[in-house]
């Protein structure tokens, strides 16, 4: 007989078989060495399990008719203890050590929330100090913050702030040397959110069609709870937000959307992918730029994701064709200041060498003075990539147009002169004709008078 308590415990372990159970799961207790066809009785803390329900786990237990193993389902911490299997004159003792892992908020989180894990253990023997290691959904070790564990019975761990991509099966690895425990308990974390991880910026040219999308991850993570949400737009950070649409998703994953505003022209695309929130802005206006924010609400908690829409336009001052020797200013403009890796650039396509004018850092526009016709193209360049571009065609007031003007005036005077001559000529001839007619009348009168005279004579 050993005097040391610890050694006593060890001895105790050798005599009894140790088995680990996890709360909420089932455990199968093995009656080792039982000959085939032999009857068996299972006891828990000396109480018969299957005699009029004396033990608490009776209604959650069953004996396998062939193997005689005892299966205890939906384990509880209080099921820990000594189980004995008796056949003939033999007794097999099993010590059941139960762990219970609970996750705060039942494992349902929104981004940036911090889960709290609680690990409890129960056993009839003294409880060991546990070595706990956590593996995330990518099977990488994470370092949680251990809160002061009050007793070896209970350990409290705080994880880090979650992201939607943390959704999945995590693993809690529990080890102890005495008694020898090497147990994994898996648990699910679901982080409802957007597959768009970060707030993004979208560039569009004026009058183009823009589709803004938010991919919700509720199907992917098998989120089985209802939630609601809305989509807002505001032109500037300080401006008031306008609700464009609201939506809800039922526990069965059915999604409903309702348009909330009529002044703002947008469509909900009919053929949009499943579990997305989408709006389509056709012929986008310069003043439809700004922040589009999609917000989710679950149990009074919120998360959101923003898309900033930046619209680009080009214009000329003065507008219209460029007359010879004149100058005009081409203006390329975006609706909000650009980040430092992005700038605007005017390029004269058919100039040799190619004329280029770059915007200053964080500027919202770039201007170029133009004195020759041609195609000018404004590009929004991000990290050397042209994201969007718009062309402006400068037309020279055509040369024939001036000829037409001169020609018209010359032609006009000729025409006038001609008409005048014609008038004069016709006027003269008319006068001549009148004189001739007068003479004729006079002659006729004269003749008549003569005749009369002749008749009279």
Ligand X SMILES: *[C@@H]1O[C@H](CO)[C@@H](O)[C@H](O)[C@H]1NC(C)=O
Tokens of 110: 């929104």
For ligand X, the closer of residues 131 and 402 by Cβ is 131
Euclidean distance between CA atoms 108 and 253, whole angstroms = 16
Smallest separation (angstroms) from ligand X to the CB of 121: 9
Secondary structure (DSSP) of 98-163: EEEEEEGGGGEE-TT---EEEEEEE-SSPPPPPEEEEE-TTS-EE-PEEEEEEETTEEEEE-----
Smallest separation (angstroms) from ligand X to the CB of 301: 17
Q: Would you count residue 139 as binding ligand X (CB under 6 A)?
A: yes
Backbone angles phi, psi at 101, to 5 degrees: -110, 125
Tell me the torsion sign for CA atoms 353, 354, 355, 357.
negative
The residue within the footprint of ligand X, chosen from 112, 131, 138, 450 (CB under 6 A), is 131
Site string for ligand X, 280-319 (x = CB under 6 A): -----x-x--------------------------------
For ligand X, the closer of residues 182 and 386 by Cβ is 182
The residue within the footprint of ligand X, chosen from 171, 181, 390, 394 (CB under 6 A), is 171
* Window contacting ligand X (CB under 6 A); options: 4-12, 106-114, 127-135, 320-328: 127-135
Secondary structure (DSSP) of 327-364: -EEEEEEESSPPPTTEEEEEEETT-SSPEEEEPPTT-S
Q: Would you count residue 256 as binding ligand X (CB under 6 A)?
A: yes
Number of residues that bind ligand X (CB under 6 A): 20
Count H helices and E strands in the chain, helices first: 2, 30
Burial status of residue 417 (CB atoms within 10 A of its CB: 0-12, 13-18, 19 or more):
exposed
Smallest separation (angstroms) from ligand X to the CB of 393: 22
Backbone angles phi, psi at 18, to 5 degrees: -95, 135
Smallest separation (angstroms) from ligand X to the CB of 329: 21
For ligand X, the closer of residues 146 and 403 by Cβ is 146
Smallest separation (angstroms) from ligand X to the CB of 231: 13
Decide if 344 contacts 359 (C-beta within 8 A).
Answer: yes
Smallest separation (angstroms) from ligand X to the CB of 287: 4
Tokens of 288: 């439809």
Smallest separation (angstroms) from ligand X to the CB of 14: 22
Q: Would you count residue 248 as binding ligand X (CB under 6 A)?
A: yes
Smallest separation (angstroms) from ligand X to the CB of 250: 7
Region class of 261: left (phi > 0), else alpha (psi between -120 and 50), else beta: beta
Residues counted in the chain:
457
Decide if 154 contacts 110 (C-beta within 8 A).
Answer: no
DSSP lists the bridge partners of residue 36 as none
Smallest separation (angstroms) from ligand X to the CB of 391: 21
The residue within the footprint of ligand X, chosen from 12, 135, 160, 367 (CB under 6 A), is 135
Euclidean distance between CA atoms 32 and 18, whole angstroms = 13
The residue within the footprint of ligand X, chosen from 8, 78, 161, 315 (CB under 6 A), is 78
For ligand X, the closer of residues 84 and 359 by Cβ is 84
For ligand X, the closer of residues 141 and 437 by Cβ is 141
Decide if 114 contacts 120 (C-beta within 8 A).
Answer: no
3-class SS of residue 59 = helix
Site string for ligand X, 94-123 (x = CB under 6 A): ----------------------------x-
Q: List helix spans (H) across 201-339.
A: none
Tokens of 385: 């990539």
For ligand X, the closer of residues 256 and 362 by Cβ is 256
Q: Would you count residue 258 as binding ligand X (CB under 6 A)?
A: yes
The residue within the footprint of ligand X, chosen from 25, 182, 371, 429 (CB under 6 A), is 182
Q: Would you count residue 77 as binding ligand X (CB under 6 A)?
A: yes
Could you list the residues that contact ligand X (CB under 6 A)?
77-78, 80-81, 122, 131, 133, 135, 139, 171, 173, 175, 182, 184, 228, 248, 256, 258, 285, 287
């Amino acid at each position: 007989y050993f005097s040391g308590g610890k050694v006593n415990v060890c001895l105790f372990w050798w005599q009894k078989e140790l088995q680990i159970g996890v709360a909420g799961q089932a455990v199968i207790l093995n009656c080792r060495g039982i000959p085939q066809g032999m009857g068996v009785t299972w006891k828990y803390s000396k109480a018969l399990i299957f005699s009029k329900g004396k033990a608490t786990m009776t209604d959650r237990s069953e004996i396998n008719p062939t193997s005689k193993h005892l299966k205890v389902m939906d384990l509880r911490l209080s099921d820990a203890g000594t189980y004995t299997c008796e056949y003939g004159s033999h007794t097999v003792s099993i010590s059941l050590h139960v762990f219970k892992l609970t996750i705060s908020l039942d494992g349902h989180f929104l981004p940036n929330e911090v889960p709290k894990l609680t690990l409890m253990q129960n056993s009839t023997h003294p409880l060991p100090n546990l070595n706990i290691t956590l593996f995330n959904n990518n099977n990488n070790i994470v370092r949680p913050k251990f809160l002061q564990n009050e007793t070896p019975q209970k350990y409290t761990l705080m994880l880090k702030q979650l992201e939607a991509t943390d959704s999945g099966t995590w693993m809690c690895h529990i080890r102890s040397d005495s008694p020898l425990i090497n147990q994994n308990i898996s648990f699910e974390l679901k982080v409802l959110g957007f597959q768009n991880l970060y707030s993004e910026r979208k560039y569009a040219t004026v009058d183009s069609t823009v589709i803004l999308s938010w991919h919700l991850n509720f199907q992917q993570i098998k989120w089985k709870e209802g939630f609601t949400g809305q989509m807002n737009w505001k032109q500037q950070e300080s401006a008031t937000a306008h609700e464009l649409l609201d939506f809800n998703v039922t526990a069965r994953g059915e999604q409903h959307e309702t348009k909330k505003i009529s002044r703002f022209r947008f469509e909900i695309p009919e053929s949009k992918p499943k579990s997305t929130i989408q709006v389509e802005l056709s012929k986008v206006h310069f003043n439809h730029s700004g922040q589009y924010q999609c917000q989710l609400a679950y149990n009074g908690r919120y998360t959101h994701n923003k898309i900033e829409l930046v619209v680009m336009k080009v214009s000329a001052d003065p507008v219209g064709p460029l007359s010879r020797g004149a100058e005009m200013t081409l203006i390329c403009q975006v609706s909000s200041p650009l980040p430092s890796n992005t700038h605007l650039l005017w390029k004269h396509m058919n100039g040799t060498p190619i004329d280029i004018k770059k915007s200053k850092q964080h500027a919202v526009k770039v201007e170029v003075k133009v004195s020759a016709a041609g195609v000018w193209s404004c590009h929004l360049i991000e990290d050397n990539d042209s994201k969007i571009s718009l062309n402006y065609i400068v037309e020279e007031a055509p040369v024939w147009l001036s000829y037409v003007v001169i020609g018209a005036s010359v032609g006009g005077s000729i025409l006038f002169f001609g008409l005048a001559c014609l008038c004069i000529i016709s006027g003269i001839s008319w006068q001549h004709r009148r004189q001739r007619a007068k003479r004729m009348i006079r002659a006729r009168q004269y003749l008549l008078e003569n005749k009369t005279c002749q008749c009279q004579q």
